[in-house]
Amino acid sequence: MATGRTHRPATRSRGIPEATVARLPLYLRALTALSERSVPTVSSEELAAAAGVNSAKLRKDFSYLGSYGTRGVGYDVEYLVYQISRELGLTQDWPVVIVGIGNLGAALANYGGFASRGFRVAALIDADPAMAGKPVAGLPVRHTDELEEIISENGVSIGVIATPAGAAQQVCDRLVAAGITSILNFAPTVLSVPDGVDVRKVDLSIELQILAFHEQRKAGEETAAVRRTGTAGRPAAAAREGRKGPDGDVPAVMPA
């Protein structure tokens, strides 16, 4: 990351913290809901509750964007919607391609949340020739051979990878070579990309594993018992029938 120089102090300071950027879409969603209900203004407290954060954090976040509120009153909903949209780059439309039209890719293609923000699915691409031409979410699936052409013709800079893990790096390389500079990766694999290309990943199984970690801890607190039994056991908890785990009878966890 190229740190320029000292601060550009004015209302448009060039460094919004990553953590803040990651929350802006959350605020935007909450604001959009308020806007649809024609709520004219909102306090940091109310908006924070709607977005699921605390109000100090929200105010700090907004302070990076500028002073868009009014003391004693709150924030103008419409104005904030616009400012955040602009900051996120959603006032323009972003064509995206989805590569890998399996179950997940198809689900993504059908996902309404893309279009409702500035995103437009420019094409669906799959390596299976049998898929080519088949309509998914109203778009004909195109073959991988056409990938470069599609990207170039549509000026696509954001790509979504929903292929199996084995194909992801190869697809990624082609996307990058074709000019893509932002990638959302659903394949459970680490992608390597040149500098200047952003990758964000969504890994469904990782999220579950994190939940399992905390779940296990909860279970352990209830029955502070055998935790480290080298051979067999896991924390015990009531369940019904033993489901077979890797080594025999593994209890499921039920809060009683």
Partner DNA sequence: GTCTGTGAATACATTCACAGCC
Partner DNA sequence: GGCTGTGAATGTATTCACAGAC
Nearer CB in complex with DNA: 59/174 = 59
Longest CA–CA span in the chain (Å) reads 64
- How far is the CA of 132 from the CAs of 91, 124, 141, 173, 187, in angstroms? 33, 10, 5, 22, 21
Give residues 19-48 in contact with DNA (rule: CB under 7 A): 19-20, 42-45
Query: Is 112 annotated as a binding-site member?
Result: no
Q: Which does 138 bind (CB under 5 to 8 A by kind): DNA, a copy of itself, none?
A: none
Give the nearest distance from C-beta 39 to a copy of itself in angstroms: 17
Nearer CB in complex with DNA: 2/224 = 2
Nearer CB in complex with DNA: 72/248 = 72
Q: Which does 26 bind (CB under 5 to 8 A by kind): DNA, a copy of itself, none?
A: a copy of itself
165-204 footprint of a copy of itself as x/- string (CB under 8 A): -------------xxxxxxx---x-x-x---x-x-x-xxx
Distance CA 229, CA 138 (A): 55
Distance CA 98, CA 253 (A): 38
Helix (H) or strand (E) holding 18: helix 18-36
- How far is the CA of 144 from the CAs of 120, 123, 149, 239, in angstroms? 19, 11, 10, 48
Helix-helix angle 77-88:55-65, to 10 degrees: 60
Distance CA 223, CA 142 (A): 55
Give residues 201-230 in contact with a copy of itself (rule: CB under 8 A): 202-218, 227-228
Residue of 37, 103, 130, 138 interacting with a copy of itself (CB under 8 A): 103
In the complex, which residues of this chain contact DNA (CB under 7 A)?
10, 17-20, 42-45, 53-57, 59-60, 62-63, 67-75
Binding-site residue numbers are 100-105
